[in-house]
A = this chain, B = another copy of it.
């Protein structure tokens, strides 16, 4: 590609990302104001100043605009986990695998804070979220089992996956409570550090 082509591709990707973010932000804002059942795809597209047809170029449904396409996140985290050198211990490998996603979440902090409020207010979104996180956790557990060479009866891969997932969610909740001001990466590091240390009771720490 010539540098002119590259500039065009970069501009196109940036514009796509902007449209996608505008649609997600519009969906979240409207649902936060009116509730899940009171918002249509047409209204979301309208609020983001695009057609409904454009909406469906980015998202397959209203729910997907609100909580994202879990398959995409899952595939990215998994690819990053596979890319982590085999000698890296399991906990550190998972922290590495989350790094890019955490950076992007921080860049989209406003959308994420709103997203977490919308999820808290609309439990109807939960089955989809739980199903997608179950799917992701199963894939990560499989990848950890392969890394560590443990058999299917060993509880370690599933335990590390579930525990780091819980730690990540706690960090996200603290992050949202700070309206995205505390860096998510620091909050995740703190939680992962606590886990690596065995969660010692702070009263018994000298």
Question: Residues of A with Cβ closer than 8 Å to B?
Answer: 89-91, 123-124, 126-127, 130-131, 148-150, 154-156, 158-160, 162-163, 165-167, 169-171, 173-174, 187, 190-191, 194-204
Contact = CB atoms under 8 A, between A and B. Distances in A.
A158 to B, nearest CB: 5
B123 A127 contact: yes
B158 A173 contact: yes
Contacts of A195: 159, 163, 195, 198-199
**Main SS class of interface, A:** helix
30 contacts: A89-B201, A89-B203, A90-B201, A123-B127, A124-B127, A126-B126, A126-B127, A126-B130, A130-B130, A148-B202, A154-B202, A155-B170, A155-B174, A155-B187, A155-B191, A155-B194, A156-B202, A158-B173, A159-B167, A159-B191, A159-B194, A159-B195, A160-B199, A163-B166, A166-B166, A195-B195, A195-B198, A196-B198, A197-B198, A198-B198
Contacts of A150: 202
A163 B165 CA distance: 9
B127 A159 contact: no
Nearest to A123: B127
A15 B167 CA distance: 43
Contact of A167 (B91, B148, B162, B201): B162
